[in-house]
């Protein structure tokens, strides 16, 4: 599925739609350059899950947990991870194979421990289409 957006609000709405339709146990990966809209998208997902507290990038921790939505939301940012042992220390498999929703930014850095079935989301700019244009590609969603 490809969704093109032309404003932060549209990216938020698309994330919200993803969150509204998310199913327990799903693992989403989110890839895209700095400033492309990963946080905007994630805030939409959280809103779609009914989460009421503010959601930001977990800069100083690998994971931020939100429990106020219709199911637990585990937001990972593994950008600063040193090695996979750090994931083992936080007990990542309880999250990846639990009944909440995982969303993992910079998931390419932990490729070897990702579950077999993930939903991959990539956000890209294309300046020829305008400063606020984003192309959001989603693969692996259930039919
Ligand atoms: P990231 O988390 O990927 O580093 P952010 O979500 O923090 O990026 O920031 C994205 C920035 O791009 C915001 O300042 C937002 O207002 C701007 N922006 C412009 N157009 C869009 C769009 N179509 N979708 C998402 N963000 C957009
Ligand atoms: Mg961010």
Residue 75 CB–ligand 1 contact under 6 Å: no
* Mean pLDDT (whole number) for 115-124: 97
Cα(107) to ligand 2 centroid in Å equals 13
pLDDT tens digits, 89-115: 999 999 999 999 999 999 999 999 999
The secondary structure of 29-86 as a DSSP string is EEE--TTSSHHHHHHHHHHHTT--S-----SSSSEEEE-SSSS-EEEEE-TT---HHH
pLDDT tens digits, 65-82: 999 999 999 999 998 888
Q: What is the DSSP letter of 130?
A: -
**Among the bound ligands, the one closest to the CA of 59:** 2
Cα(77) to ligand 2 centroid in Å equals 9
3-state secondary structure at position 2: strand
**Interface ipTM > 0.95:** yes
Contacts of 51 (CB under 8 A, 6+ apart): 66, 68, 69, 73
Residue 7 CB–ligand 1 contact under 6 Å: yes
Question: Is the pLDDT reported for residue 135 higher than 80?
Answer: yes
Cα(87) to ligand 1 centroid in Å equals 27
User: Taking CA 7 as the corner, what is the angle to CA 4 and CA 8, rounded to the nearest 5 degrees?
Assistant: 105
Q: Say how many CA atoms lie within 13 Å of 32 toward its Cβ.
A: 22
Structural domains of the chain, ranges and CATH numbers in brackets: 2-139 (3.40.50.300)
Question: Is the pLDDT reported for residue 7 higher than 90?
Answer: yes
> What does the alpha-carbon distance between residue 47 and residue 41 come to, in Å, rounded to a whole number?
10
Cα(123) to ligand 2 centroid in Å equals 12
Question: Is the pLDDT reported for residue 59 higher than 80?
Answer: no
Q: Are the C-beta atoms of residues 104 and 27 closer than 8 Å to each other?
A: yes
Residue 40 CB–ligand 1 contact under 6 Å: yes
* Mean pLDDT (whole number) for 4-26: 98
**Average pLDDT along the chain:** 94
pLDDT of residue 83: 87
């Amino acid at each position: 599925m490809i969704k093109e957006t032309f404003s932060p609000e549209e990216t938020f709405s698309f994330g919200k739609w993803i969150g509204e339709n998310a199913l327990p146990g799903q693992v989403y990966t989110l890839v895209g350059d700095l400033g492309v809209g990963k946080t905007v998208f994630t805030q939409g997902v959280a809103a779609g899950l009914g989460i009421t507290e503010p959601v930001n990038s977990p800069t100083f921790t690998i994971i931020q947990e939100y429990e106020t939505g219709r199911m637990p939301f585990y937001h990972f940012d593994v950008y600063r991870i040193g090695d996979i042992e750090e994931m083992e220390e936080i007990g990542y498999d309880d999250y990846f194979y639990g009944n909440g929703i995982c969303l993992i930014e910079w998931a390419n850095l932990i490729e070897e421990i990702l579950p077999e079935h993930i939903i991959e989301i990539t956000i890209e700019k294309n300046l020829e289409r305008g400063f606020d244009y984003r192309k959001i590609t989603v693969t692996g969603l259930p039919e």
